[in-house]
Amino acid sequence: MKIAPSILSADFAHLQQDITLVEQAGAEWLHIDVMDGHFVPNLTFGTGVIKAIRPHSNLVFDCHMMVEHPEHYIADLAAAGADSVTIHVESTPHLHSVLQQIQKAGMKAAVAINPATPVSALHPILSMVDMVLVMTVNPGFGGQQFIPETLAKIHELNMIRSAQQLDFVIEVDGGIKPDTAKRCLDEGADIFVAGSYVFGAPDPAEAIANLKAAEQAGDNRA
C-alpha cells in the first residue's frame, strides 16, 4: 500500500512546505493533477510547477493528465522530472501510441478510467501499462464523495491481473479516507490518492498514518 497525496488540495502559497511535510510523514508518491480546462472544467498545474518542485522532493511524481491531446505534453513532462504519466482512455483516440510515447520518454505509462467507463475499454492495452487509475469520483475537483460502484471495477482489474499474470498496479483516486481505502484495498488496489483528507486535516502526518492503518487492519484479520 502506497499513499500519493494530491497537491490539488495543498496550500499553493506553501507548496514546498506541504510536500516536505507529507514526504516526512511517510508518503511514497506525490499525485500531481494537470488539468486543461477542456477535458475537465478546471485549470491547474503545468509542467513549470512540476519542474520547480522536482529538486525539492524525492517522492515519485505521479502526473495525472486530465487534458485533451495528452501527446502534446509528454516531452515537457519528461524534461520537468515526471516519473509516471497517467492519461485518460477517454482523452485520446490514439491510446496505444501515446502510452508508447510515454515509455519511450523514460517514464512509467498509466491509464485512467472515469466512473462511467467500463474496464473493457482497457482490454487492448492492459499488457503494456505500468498502472491503471480507477477514478472513484468524477474527475476535475477535489473533495467529492466516493462512488461505491467503482469497487467492482477495482475487483475486475485485480482478477484480470491475476488471471493473465500481468504486473500493472492499481491506483484509486477520489473520496479516499480510511474506510474507503480499506474497501479499495480489499478489492486489490495498491496506490491511494488522497487530497482533501490529507491536506485538509489539522495534522496531515496523522492522516497519512490513518490511511496506512487500513493495511495493518487487513493484515491483522488475515
Active site residues: 33, 173
8 A C-beta contact, residue 80 and residue 46? no
Instruction: List the beta bridge partners of residue 5.
Output: 194
Q: Which three cell numbers stand for residue 34?
A: 494537470
The set of residues, in sequence order, having a beta carbon less than 8 Å from that of 65 and lying 6+ positions away, is 34, 73, 85, 86, 87, 88, 91
Give the length of the chain.
222
Decide if 150 contacts 135 (C-beta within 8 A): yes
The cell numbers describing 185, all together, are 484495498
Strands of the chain, DSSP E: 2-5, 29-35, 60-66, 84-88, 108-113, 131-135, 169-173, 191-194
